[in-house]
Every structure is written in C-alpha cells, then in structure tokens.
Structure 1
Amino acid sequence: MQTDDLLKQIEFIKEIDKLKYIQRRTKLFNSDRNENDAEHSWHLAMMAIILSKHSNVEIDVLKVVKMVLIHDIVEIDAGDTFIYDTTKNHTNTDEELLAAKRIFGLLPDEQGDELIAVWEEFEAGETAEAKFAKTMDRLEPLLQNASNNGGTWKEFDVDYQKVYDKKKVMQYGSTPIWNYAENLINESVEKGILKKENS
C-alpha cells in the first residue's frame, strides 16, 4: 500500500512540473520576462510567510502557504485567465473544478481530497486563510506592474477603476497591506503609469 501511494505521489509531482510552462501576463519585477505559474505560486508562499503578521486576524500560515502553492495548479488543464479579461470570468469555473479533480485525483485519496478541499476553500474566499491568500494573490502583480512602468495595465489598456475594483478584496485579508496597495495604486496614477479612466 505504501509503495502504491508513493507511485501516485510521484505521478502527481511529475504532473505539476507542467505549472512551470503556464505563462502569466505579468512580468517579473523590473523585467520584460513573463512570470510562470510556478514562480508566482512560490513568490506568494514566501510573501504569506513574511507578511502573515499583517493579517487582520490570527491565521494558520501553513494552510495559507498550501493555498497559494496549489491555487493555480488547475491552470495546467484550464489555462491562465487574465484577471482583467473581459471575455472570460476570472472566478471558479466548472473547467477548473474538473482540472482539480483530475490533477489532485492522481494522489492517494486522502491527500487528494485534502488538496481539493484547500483549493475550494481558497476559491470560496470566505475563511480568514483564504482572504489572506487572496490578498497575497492580488498584491504580487500590483507590485510587479508598479515596478514595470505600468506593465500589463499599459499593455492591455487597464484603467484605475478596474485595478481598484480587483484589488480592493485585499482589505478583507489585511487592512495594512490594502492601505499600502491603495497608496501604490494612487501613486501609479500620479506617475502616469495607470490612467484614471479609459479614453
């Protein structure tokens, strides 16, 4: 039984290597190279560890780390949906749930069920851990775009209101981080790297 579990776990480990090939729209800090999903997930995990004391409430940091490490694994099958996409919704889809069941289903049942539950908790965004994980997920690309002279905001003609509306969810995970982010958004408008409205 232990050998069977190990073989399933190795298959899962091989499968998630594909995350390294899923390109995101955002680029690395001060760079013109696109970030991939594995890099994004690693960065969020580090951010969750480093910034956890700024959570609005006490959180299980390990659970947050699990959430951010696995939240985009479904994109191996479903692909990355750009947060400012106007044709496809950036919320949990049937397609993503099928992907979660297939990929996490490679693991032994107990482990697979746990990771699907953690993924669903992140997607629902209702627990303290999910709220903080989503704060990390919204903060990283904001920092990247600010470092890249507007980055994807300029590239895809995204205005202030769209950015603000997508980022304000951060306040539910961390008021201090949201205050920082809101200031950064406003500074980006002042610097001319984020326009106040579409023209």
Structure 2
Amino acid sequence: MQVQVILKNKTILICCIFQLANEKGVTLIGPATVGGIKPGCFKIGNTGGMMDNILSLKLYRPGSVAYVSRSGGMSNELNNIISQNADGVYEGIAIGGDKYPGSTFVDHLLRYEMDDRVKMMVMLGELGGVEEYKVVEALKEKRLTKPLVAWCIGTCADYVTFEIQFGHAGASANAKAETATAKNLALKEAGAHVPNSFDDLGDEIAKVSNC
C-alpha cells in the first residue's frame, strides 16, 4: 500500500512539473540524464566527460552538428563519432532513458531545425516506446528539412525469443512497432539517413556532412 501511494504521488509530481514547464516555456531534460553540452558556451551534468576528453574531442568550440540521444553514455560516444566524422558538435542533449522524459526527440530536433547554425542533425533512439515515430511524422510533414542521420539501438533484441528489459526503464519493446528494427525502417522511409548498423553511423555522418 505504501509503495502504491509513493508511486502515485511521484506520478502526480512529475505531471505537475511538466505542466509548470509548459506554462513557463521551459524545456526540461531528464529525468535519468547526464545532461547536455553546447561547445563554447556551457555543459550540463557530466556530458563530455573530463577536461582532457573535452579538449581531445574539440568540445570547447562549436561545430555544426546537433544531436539528441536517449542514453547519456551513448551521447558521449556521439561526441566522439561526430568529432571524427564532421566539423564537430554544435549542441547535444541526452533526454534520459525513462519512459516519460521531460522533453522528446522531436522537441529538440525542431529547435535545431530553427537554428541557422545547425547544418545537420543526429538522433540516437532505442527500442521501446513510440517517441521516434513523432520524428517520422515531422519528417513526412516537412517540419524537419535539415539532413537527419538517425539510428535506433537495440536491433539485437530481434534475436531474443523472450521478453527482456534492456538497461533503461523505457528500453523494452512491447509491440513490433516498438522494436529498433521497425523504427529504423520507418525513419529511413520518411527520409532520414539511416546506416545499416551502428558500426556504420560514423561513415553515414561523414557522408551527409560532406554533401
């Protein structure tokens, strides 16, 4: 009974925070996020790692690639991949791995779409949930027109024959449409640049960046 009360009160609190943020025009990132980074301006939380990593990846000055990721650890990997295959990161946000994040992929991609300093965008989604399909719709409706490289991690789950929870609270596919494979296909059909695997993500970013 006590657990149910705690969960109910937490849900009410989260809903109140989301509503207040909308009323104030504030963008929330998280919960369960390492933060974000805007090279040359600021960083939030642990994004980017230690100073030696920030220097080696040139995260002290802006590039023209903006990304959004669910995973904080993978956002740091994106910093590395983008620095090696394009002119660097303009802004990067990890929205967090919970089922109900304070902001979504499409929220940040639409911000990047409106910023002339962003030349291309990268999205790293994952299996579970349907937030990536909002990006699919935005692509189809031409609300997102800048080049978008996208990949949803978790395709290995196709080979698991029983239900399993992968890492994040939201990383569990309860329907075929929630699988990483289905999302990658939908994104590609909508016009995103989708590599054949995560291993090819850097090459895809380089190809789009050089166009």
Structure with more contact order per residue of length (Cα contacts < 8 Å, sep ≥ 6): 1
Higher helix share: 1
Q: Say yes or no: TM over 0.5.
A: no
